[in-house]
Amino acid sequence: MARRVNRVATISVHTSPLDQPGTGDAGGMNVYVVEVAKRLAARGIEVDIFTRATCRALPPIVELAPGVLVRNVVAGPFEELDKTELPAELCGFTSGVLRAEASYDPGHYDLLHTHYWLSGQAGWAAKRRWGVPLVHSMHTMAKVKNAALAEGDTPEPAARVLGEEQVVESADQLVANTAKEARELIELYGAEPGRVATVNPGVDLSLFRPESALLSRSTGLLPHRTGPARRRLGLPRDAYVLLFVGRIQPLKAPDVLLHAAARMLKDDPSLRSKLVVAVVGGPSGSGRSRPEGLQRLAAELGISDVVRFEPPSPQDELADWYRAADVTVVPSHNESFGLVAVESQACGTPVVAAAVGGLCTAVKDGESGVLISGHDPADYARVLRRLHAEPGLHARLARGAVRHAQSFGWDSTVDRLLEVYTGALTMFPTGRHRLAPEVPVLSAASPAASPTASA
């Protein structure tokens, strides 16, 4: 009989579920960890999320939701530690995780789920100590990222590639966000196909939904462009609003949107009185070294008057931005999935995105948005002008967007994850790892240990 999962230890070393997504290292992975933990807890599965303490004022344990605890493990300095410096703190972090579990009765956790390779490294040690299966989600992979670097971005170091390979080798189950990511794990990292499961991330469909007027029954058109979200955000009813949401870094290519907007205005100067480009999010990755870079680019392109920069926003405010926008633009060089694209569609706003990575799953080309090959701003400008000029096409994509997003609820994600967890428990019963040492220990007296022993 399949064993039930009662308690899960989740590890997210480099970014805390308590952080505001949309800036620094906090993004889709944080949203994923929080949404999955809350839904597991609602089904009676307790979740402890281990993360590195980044603030002295935070208590060691914070209740995120009933049944979900965030455990802030002290390892290294509190603030200002860059992700690239984290490998040096992993030993301290891992021992903090092991110490926390030691305060419980033995066998407290049934399973470990780690996120991103640094957490996988900590999980690698913890799974052997606890004798539980390790389920790992990569979220991003160095080999994939390095193959699609944005101009000026630094390649991921060889140490990360090696660390990822170790995690792939040691995880009992790997969770890929899309079938494409599953193939990459197998082809680029040599993962055994039987240990890779595809589980699409989700969207909070109760929060991200079209404006309350919903579909106009007479026309079938989504009236979001004139609705209350625009009023709340101070956007004119007749504006053509293009939205970028996310961490501002070269990988996400917000510069492509600014160049495309400049191009649209050059081709059709009459648009200047209508166009609004909204950028919601904060600096991240190599973008942190030039936090004003995008503002400077807007000035250089002569479009500062149409670009509105907004700080990272909580998800309920974000829902308003999606509803108020005509199109959300996601021109990333790579995305493991692209939660922003699905959230926007759930709000009834079509997406124009680069045809890369998970965005090919998140957006249904021609039905819920448009996928563009490459990053030439002229291509983006052409599609965005067409969507402005053809309201019928825009309305069709808006309806398709709502439909497509319905297939990505977090509850489906959790259903699939529970299948993966149960499978891992069945394949790797508790105690297996504790009983099987990784390297056979030879006694000095055994024949194999003797230099003269024959093979």
| Cα distances (Å, whole numbers) of residue 443 to 366, 433, 435, 448, 449 | 66, 21, 18, 9, 7
Tell me whether residue 22 or residue 131 sits nearer to ligand UDP (CB atom): 22
Contact flag: residue 351 with ligand UDP (CB under 6 A): no
Residue 330 has phi, psi (to 5 degrees) of -125, 85
DSSP lists the bridge partners of residue 115 as: 137
Minimum Å gap between C-beta 302 and ligand UDP is 26
Contact flag: residue 120 with ligand UDP (CB under 6 A): no
Name the token pair of 269. 């100067």
Contact flag: residue 339 with ligand UDP (CB under 6 A): yes
Compute the distance between CA of residue 375 and CA of residue 171 in angstroms, rounded to an integer: 35
Minimum Å gap between C-beta 204 and ligand UDP is 9
Name the token pair of 226. 């004139």
Coil, strand, or helix at residue 368?
coil
Beta carbons within 10 angstroms of residue 213's beta carbon: 13
Any known ligand binding at 151?
no
Contact flag: residue 121 with ligand UDP (CB under 6 A): no
* Total residues at interface with ligand UDP (CB under 6 A): 20
Contact flag: residue 318 with ligand UDP (CB under 6 A): yes
Contact flag: residue 312 with ligand UDP (CB under 6 A): yes
134-137/173-176 β-pairing: parallel
Contact flag: residue 315 with ligand UDP (CB under 6 A): yes
Minimum Å gap between C-beta 102 and ligand UDP is 33
Query: Residue holding tokens 């889709």?
Result: 28
Dihedral, CA atoms, 139, 141, 146, 151, nearest 10 degrees?
A: 10
Name the token pair of 220. 């079938």
Contact flag: residue 22 with ligand UDP (CB under 6 A): yes
61-65/307-310 β-pairing: unpaired
Contact flag: residue 337 with ligand UDP (CB under 6 A): yes
Binding test (CB under 6 A) with ligand UDP, winner from 101, 326, 343, 379 = 343
Contact flag: residue 281 with ligand UDP (CB under 6 A): yes
Half-sphere exposure of 103 (CA within 13 A, CB side): 5
Minimum Å gap between C-beta 120 and ligand UDP is 17
Q: Number of helices (H) and strands (E) in the chain: give both, helices first.
A: 16, 14
Tell me whether residue 131 or residue 348 sits nearer to ligand UDP (CB atom): 348
Compute the distance between CA of residue 10 and CA of residue 82 in angstroms, rounded to an integer: 22
Any known ligand binding at 227?
no
Binding test (CB under 6 A) with ligand UDP, winner from 31, 40, 138, 327 = 31
In the region spanning residues 222 to 251, those forming contacts with ligand UDP, defined by CB under 6 A, are 245-247
Minimum Å gap between C-beta 426 and ligand UDP is 31
Half-sphere exposure of 438 (CA within 13 A, CB side): 8
Tell me whether residue 96 or residue 312 sits nearer to ligand UDP (CB atom): 312
The DSSP string of 137-199 is E-SS-HHHHHHTPPTTPPPPPHHHHHHHHHHHHH-SEEEESSHHHHHHHHHHH---GGGEEE-
Any known ligand binding at 345?
no
Minimum Å gap between C-beta 208 and ligand UDP is 8
Name the token pair of 369. 């948005």
115: amino acid identity, one letter: H
Contact flag: residue 334 with ligand UDP (CB under 6 A): no
Contact flag: residue 12 with ligand UDP (CB under 6 A): no
| Dihedral sign (CA 199, 203, 206, 212) | negative
Minimum Å gap between C-beta 336 and ligand UDP is 7
Binding residues for Mg(2+): 322-323, 325, 349
The binding site for ligand UDP (CB under 6 A) comprises 21-22, 27-29, 31, 245-247, 280-281, 312-313, 315, 318, 337-340, 343
Binding residues: 14, 20-21, 25-30, 83, 116, 140, 160, 247, 252, 322-323, 325, 335, 343, 349
Binding residues for UDP-N-acetyl-alpha-D-glucosamine: 20-21, 28, 247, 252, 335, 343
Binding residues for 1D-myo-inositol 3-phosphate: 14, 25-30, 83, 116, 140, 160
